[in-house]
Structure 1
Amino acid sequence: MADRCSPTFDQLATELGFSCQEAGGLVEVRSPLALENWTLPVLEATIVLGSVLALVLAIVRLRRNGDPTNLVLWFGATAYLFIIEPPLYFPAAFGIEDHVDTMFAHNVFTVDFLWGRLPLYIIAIYPLMATLAFEIVRMLGVFRRYGVLVGAVCVGFVHHAFYEIFDHLGPQLRWWEWSTENPLNQPMFDSVPLPSVVVFAALWPMSLAFCVQFFVGRHVDRGQRFSGLQLVWRTAVIGVLASLGTFILPLPATVLGMGSTTARGVLYATELVVVTLVATWILVRQWLALRRGNSDVPAYTNDFVRRYSVVYLSVMALLWVSALPDYAGTVDGVTSNGDPVGNLWYTAACFTVAILCVVATFTVPHRQPAGNNIASAGAHAATGT
């Protein structure tokens, strides 16, 4: 509808190949064969299927083990999405249009919400990515041995690796387009705003993981049980506080870097380097301790996360391979089709980190609690202590 089309969004939508004025209402469904290219339905199916499975197995774990951590994580990430994203889609409706212009536009997928603003897979990717990163860190026993804050830093680091593989590919394959003129997106790191690389790939999952483990996970580790009402209010609080954390954690860059794109970029990069150094040291140290039997942390396993991480990385590798011919012919960072490309070397580094993290979960001891028959029931992801 025309009254919902800001000039910036209308321009981005046109460049992506659809009309903002003709975008559907609250919900729109289209044929996957009618999308921009074949990579869109492949991405959509991978993310939505993984997110649904993560939800199902989180429910299984709650019912069979009394552990609501995964379920709270799933809904906490979803709550965060619905707090953060709508104002970015409709700044005028929230009275912030004088401060926040449209930052990006998603392409249209098989299922879209909110007049072409919110694809279903975006709703799904928040809880799926959060689950993969959180559970990898949890399987390595980081939370139990090093505490809530250090564990959250490691989650932010792992999430960053998984997410940036996706983030640096999206603009080239027209999954979305950034408004490069928007000062909030500056500085750019090839086709990706550096604030996205740091805040949405590392700091928000760090904030979410801290809240989930603080309000639920650490208590579950001590044997505490929660009522349904307790879980509802804790999940709501987690969504709100994780959103506040996304505002608070990048403050050094947003405040001290005010007025200078270069200074802001350096400060964002510094925050990411700190997260990377701390997390790398902790994850390697903990993996070695588990391998050598020097850690008395009870092993925890989530077979769904281990296996679906492999699926996700395999699909993303396929999509990257499909994009390499056009990538190789880029001129000044733009393909012959006019699409900006991400940073291949940075993506390769993220692939390496993500693969090593997944391999680590397959190479540490796993101890099943007595009487646990979940694996035999086909719900491997719900095992652990």
Structure 2
Amino acid sequence: MAGHCAPTFDQLARSLGFSCDTAGGLVEVRNPLALENWTLPVLELTVILGSVLALVWAIVRLRRHGDPTNLVLWFGATAYLFIIEPPLYFPAAFGISGHVDTMFAHNVFTVDFLWGRLPLYIVAIYPFMATLAYEIVRMLGVFRTYGAIAGAACVGFVHHAFYEIFDQIGPQLRWWEWSTSNPLNQPVFDSVPLPSVVVFAALWPMSLAFCVYWFVGRRVDGGERFTGLQLVWRTIVIGLLASLGTFILPLPATVLGATSTTVRGTVYALELIVLALAAIALMYRQWTRRRQPGSAGPAYDNRFVRAYSVVYLLVMAVLWATALSDFLDATGGVTRNGDPIGNLWYTLACFAIGILCVAAVFTLPTTAASDKEEHSTARV
């Protein structure tokens, strides 16, 4: 695949310690003990195991309760991945190299696809993170009480908190490297492009969650059941429309900031602030409502998400703790090894939000059977 080894990708690959020309084939398997550092296989194991368990839960949920929501969410997120990511890896092959240059390069992991462009854990992280965020919001009952748009906004907010804990440390631990000179990555928030902080951490999961609930979740809540063929076409449509939503939701920043990086960054930040304020208000109100004396027990529970969200936060806390020494010794935003550092205060805020979200679902009343569904009319 050397013919598609763009100069920018080759430069990023070499800075990460591997060659674009020898990055492997369609599938490449490596010794996990021979990777860049020990954090890479730990990250892989955490994310891939979480994604597999999320898929198992989704299958069990469908077979026992006839509820395909989790399964559609899992495969919808995966479909979104394969729509969005390949053009970013091979812009020349998709005829867009005149408009889109390489934005980033992943380091090589134990299992890689597409000539070193796509690690297996990246395939896994889309459905894994989407499941954590969607199910936390679903357990709180936000979708049922406030409808699709409100629920999707809360999913975007929760996903953002979980994702940025990972996003802010990735460049320092050499999990990937950004092309900071690429205009599409501007402005940069310490080591992370602000478009990643807003679009890929918050807006795309918001778009996905809305589509999943609109096409499947609300209908399941209303007692509807689907055939296999109906689920297949709905999943494909969800992946396509979620991709379209990723283009539509950032349009204010894209249009208003077309000629100014500062304006674009300001609008991105404002979008995120509005989303966060709305989600915090909705989720807190719903949590307090669920805990009021005499209120109904939880309409839905996901024991896997409650447990594994704790595992994820603990693993990321350990990774951050072991990287903290190099972080604190960094000069000018760069460690002694030449790796850019993220924003510690922002990460701590995301940790706090993640912990509060997990605590919220652990402190919901448990007087009703957790697997029973309360059927009500959904609102948009």
TM over 0.5, yes or no? yes
**Cα distance between partner residues in 1 of 2:12 and 2:119:** 16
- 1:184 — aligned with what? 184
- 2:223 — aligned with what? 223
Q: What is the aligned length?
A: 373
What value does the CA root-mean-square deviation take over the aligned residues? 1.1
Match of 2:169, SS? coil
- 2:377 — aligned with what? none
**Cα distance between partner residues in 2 of 1:321 and 1:211:** 37
**Paired AA for residue 41 in structure 1:** P
Q: Cα distance, 1:258 vs. partner? A: 0.4
**2:107–2:176 Cα contact (<8 Å) kept:** yes
**Cα distance between partner residues in 2 of 1:297 and 1:223:** 19
- 1:242 — aligned with what? 242
Q: Which consecutive residues of structure 1, in runs of 5 or more, have no partner in the other structure? A: 373-382
- 2:76 — aligned with what? 76
**2:4–2:93 Cα contact (<8 Å) kept:** no
- Closer/same/farther in 2, CA of residues 368 and 295 from structure 1, 3 Å limit: closer
- Alignment pair present for 1:105 and 2:105: yes
**2:172–2:340 Cα contact (<8 Å) kept:** yes
Match of 2:351, SS? helix
- Alignment pair present for 1:13 and 2:9: no
**2:72–2:235 Cα contact (<8 Å) kept:** yes
- Closer/same/farther in 2, CA of residues 384 and 5 from structure 1, 3 Å limit: farther
Match of 1:21, SS? helix
Match of 2:238, SS? helix
**Cα distance between partner residues in 2 of 1:362 and 1:334:** 39
Question: TM-score, normalised on structure 2?
Answer: 0.97
- 1:288 — aligned with what? 288
**Paired AA for residue 46 in structure 1:** T
**1:301–1:366 Cα contact (<8 Å) kept:** no
1:206-240 CA deviation, whole Å, 9 max, x = no partner?
Answer: 00000000000000011110000000000000000
**Paired AA for residue 8 in structure 1:** T
Instruction: Summarize the alignment of residues 140-179 of structure 1 with structure 2, pairs less than 5 Å apart.
Output: 140-179=140-179
**Paired AA for residue 163 in structure 1:** Y
- 1:375 — aligned with what? none
**Cα distance between partner residues in 2 of 1:168 and 1:294:** 42
- 1:114 — aligned with what? 114
- Alignment pair present for 1:53 and 2:57: no
**Cα distance between partner residues in 2 of 1:132 and 1:359:** 14
- 1:43 — aligned with what? 43
**Paired AA for residue 29 in structure 1:** V
Q: Cα distance, 1:300 vs. partner? A: 1.2
- Closer/same/farther in 2, CA of residues 151 and 7 from structure 1, 3 Å limit: same
**Paired AA for residue 313 in structure 1:** L
- Alignment pair present for 1:125 and 2:125: yes
- 1:88 — aligned with what? 88
Q: Cα distance, 1:292 vs. partner? A: 1.2
Q: Cα distance, 1:3 vs. partner? A: 1.1
- 1:259 — aligned with what? 259
Q: Which consecutive residues of structure 2, in runs of 5 or more, have no partner in the other structure? A: 374-380
Match of 1:345, SS? helix
**1:302–1:384 Cα contact (<8 Å) kept:** no
**Cα distance between partner residues in 2 of 1:127 and 1:99:** 29
Instruction: Summarize the alignment of residues 297-312 of structure 1 with structure 2, pairs less than 5 Å apart.
Output: 298-312=298-312
**2:298–2:365 Cα contact (<8 Å) kept:** no
**2:297–2:367 Cα contact (<8 Å) kept:** no
- Closer/same/farther in 2, CA of residues 337 and 384 from structure 1, 3 Å limit: farther
Q: Cα distance, 1:2 vs. partner? A: 2.3
**Paired AA for residue 276 in structure 2:** T
**Paired AA for residue 150 in structure 1:** A
Q: Displaced runs of 4+ in structure 1, greater than 2 A?
A: 293-299, 366-369
Q: Cα distance, 1:294 vs. partner? A: 6.6
Question: TM-score, normalised on structure 1?
Answer: 0.95
Q: Cα distance, 1:299 vs. partner? A: 2.5
1:237-286 CA deviation, whole Å, 9 max, x = no partner?
Answer: 00000000000000000111101000000000010001000000000111
**Cα distance between partner residues in 1 of 2:142 and 2:122:** 28
